[in-house]
Amino acid sequence: MEIAVYDKQGASKGSLTIDPEVLGGEINPALIKQAYVMYHANTRQGSARTKSRGMVEGSTRKLFRQKGTGNARVGSARTNIRRGGGRTFAKTRTREDYRQDMPVKMRRKANRNALLAKLFGGVVNGKKIEEVKVIDDLSMGAPKTSEFRKVLEALGIDRSCLLALNPENINARLSARNIEDVTVCNCEQLTTFELMNHRYLVIAKSDLEAWIERSGGTGKSGKNRESAKKAAKAGESA
């Protein structure tokens, strides 16, 4: 798969070759959705609260006498069937837990598969668009929001955009953080949730290569298994 590489003026600077098999080979919608739901659920605070009739402020007196008024019998104004009253089954837990989990291998595969879906691109009004914009160099001499806005315009960014930056690229981070519909994240922390929540992904060529190499073929420790095996064999032969 050949991915176009651009400079900050939008001019072509060659291409980047990516093996789709490294990213899962084909798109797995069920896996992507499972990971998306997990990431979304894990952002919930679980701090919603409601009040029962005993917690609602107000008097507990009977509104009017039981018989002789022609009205239906009624008690306190704080009962759950009256406006402003308490809830029947109030949420009183100090912290609701909505957290979900996925095996590490599934989570990493979903992240790679979400990137593959982005690389395939989308179709808007019958026209295919590039959803991943790979830049040869995203470094900036000084923080300038206006200059970075021109970069996005040159790349044809007209919808929500996820900007994945190296943590050391401070100037680009400061330049982009105030631009509307642009979300900045570390290039090491690309997830299914962030990728699927934005139309475009803008990332430097070196950062994308490093992310693919780091996320593919690794165990839970994050170390490459092949390199670990070679190191072990070298130790045995020594």
Residue 2 β-bridge partners: 17
Q: What stretches of 93-205 adopt beta strand conformation (E)?
A: 122-124, 127-129, 132-135, 161-165, 182-186, 200-204
Each residue's pLDDT tens digit, 161-206: 999 999 999 999 999 999 999 999 999 889 999 999 999 999 999 9
100 forms beta bridges with none
**Would you say the C-alpha torsion 75, 78, 84, 85 has a positive or negative sign?**
negative
Check residue 222 and give its pLDDT.
47
Domain 2-43+101-237 belongs to what architecture?
A: 3-Layer(aba) Sandwich (3.40)
Q: Where are the domains of the chain?
A: 2-43+101-237, 45-97
Tell me: the pLDDT tens digits for 113-168?
999 999 988 777 777 888 999 999 999 889 999 999 999 999 999 899 999 999 99
